[in-house]
Structure 1
Amino acid sequence: MPTQAEIFAELGIPGGVAAGAGVGGGGRGAVNAEELENDSTMEELWAMKAMEHSEIHFNLLCAVDPRLLKLTPKDDAIYTAFRNEFPDFNVKKLEEKDLKSAEAKEKWRPFCLAFEKEIEDYSFATLVRIDGEDEYSESNTILVTRIQFFCIEITRNREGLNDAIRTKFKPKPRTKKGQQ
């Protein structure tokens, strides 16, 4: 499990930025990210949310024809903009450098910002499968922004790259909160 500092770094939050008022209860004021490094609560909450999202997404892929699946009301616009800006981007099997290298970040940043008012939580950290033909697992996920996730998965759906998931895997019962 990544440290709090690693999660902040992945989210693009500088180490010295205040994380918000009231974190940790007790009426404390703004908390420095460095102080939160040892606070596993935020990390655990993020991890639970990300895993819940990935479970729901994968169960949808297992149960519904991906070509008919709409992930957002803006799927058409996201797909068109993504393929116009990244026509040769390989969504079948992701390469970390295509998402996280300095050059890639320069290209992705303005693209993602264009969806700031269009997609709720567009910059929220989200897990995406590296190999689109496989399930979510620790070795088959990478952390991306929500809009990058939508670009990749909408494209996989539209281009038939998620079609085999329904025959290869079956939906899994969701883990209920509190069950471990």
Structure 2
Amino acid sequence: MDSVGAEGLLAGASLLSRPAEEFGNDPSVEAMWAMKAMEHAEVYFNILCSVDPKFLKLTPHDDQIYSLFRDKFPDFKVKNMKENDLKSEDAKKEWRPYCEQFKGVVEDYSFGTLLRLNCEEDYSEDNSILVTRIQFYAIELARNKEGFNDVIRSKFSAKKKS
């Protein structure tokens, strides 16, 4: 990201707000999306290392996102997931109606966002999956409210400070 420079990042940011149909499969746009997802992941993890997750507010709609998530997925295990929990054909059929109800409600609800599969670990190639922003919010809000992210601050805050 450092090699792109400030001007490149600003140009990229304006490009990412354009309609997707304009780009096809442009690899430079895919790279910008990946950088944006990684930047979001870093910021979120740093916040988890600094603040008690129970007090985090991720959106103005946190209560609605969480309650509808637990209504739709009462037994969904948010602590440690497998890719198929979110990406199998059956999972996609279950998640799609949940996600779509936030269209026009939650800004950037469908943006690609990195999610940790095991909430007790940092982001890594083996522990990260790309999901929609609303799936990220639903799962991370559940982790925060249900105490699963509590371990992050004690486990990683000393590492992040050094």
Q: Which residue of 2 aligns with 1:81?
A: 68
- Which consecutive residues of structure 1, in runs of 5 or more, have no partner in the other structure? 1-17, 22-30, 174-180
C-alpha deviations, 1:25-80, integer Å up to 9, x for none?
xxxxxx543xx3xxx31122111101100000000000000000111111111110
State the number of aligned residues: 142
Q: Which residue of 2 aligns with 1:120?
A: 107
User: Secondary structure of 1:144's match?
Assistant: strand
- Which consecutive residues of structure 2, in runs of 5 or more, have no partner in the other structure? 1-18
Structure 2 residue 146 is matched with structure 1 residue 159 = yes
Q: Which residue of 2 aligns with 1:169?
A: 156
- From 85, 100, 103, the counterpart of 2:87: 100
TM-score by length of 1: 0.75
Letter matched to residue 92 of structure 1 = K
Q: Which has the larger radius of gyration?
A: 1
Q: Which runs of 4 or more aligned residues in structure 1 lie more than 4 Å from their structure 2 counterparts after TM superposition? A: none
Q: Which residue of 2 aligns with 1:59?
A: 46
The alpha-carbon deviation at position 169 of structure 1 amounts to 0.3
User: Secondary structure of 2:141's match?
Assistant: helix
Letter matched to residue 165 of structure 1 = I
The percent identity for this pair of structures is 57
User: Secondary structure of 2:121's match?
Assistant: coil
Q: Which residue of 1 aligns with 2:121?
A: 134
Letter matched to residue 79 of structure 2 = K
C-alpha deviations, 1:129-176, integer Å up to 9, x for none?
000000111111011000000000000000000001110002748xxx
User: Secondary structure of 1:138's match?
Assistant: coil
CA-based RMSD? 1.6
Q: Which residue of 1 aligns with 2:35?
A: 48
C-alpha deviations, 1:3-43, integer Å up to 9, x for none?
xxxxxxxxxxxxxxx9444xxxxxxxxx543xx3xxx3112
Higher helix share: 2
Letter matched to residue 153 of structure 2 = R
- Structure 1 residues 32, 160: closer, same or farther in 2, change over 3 A? closer
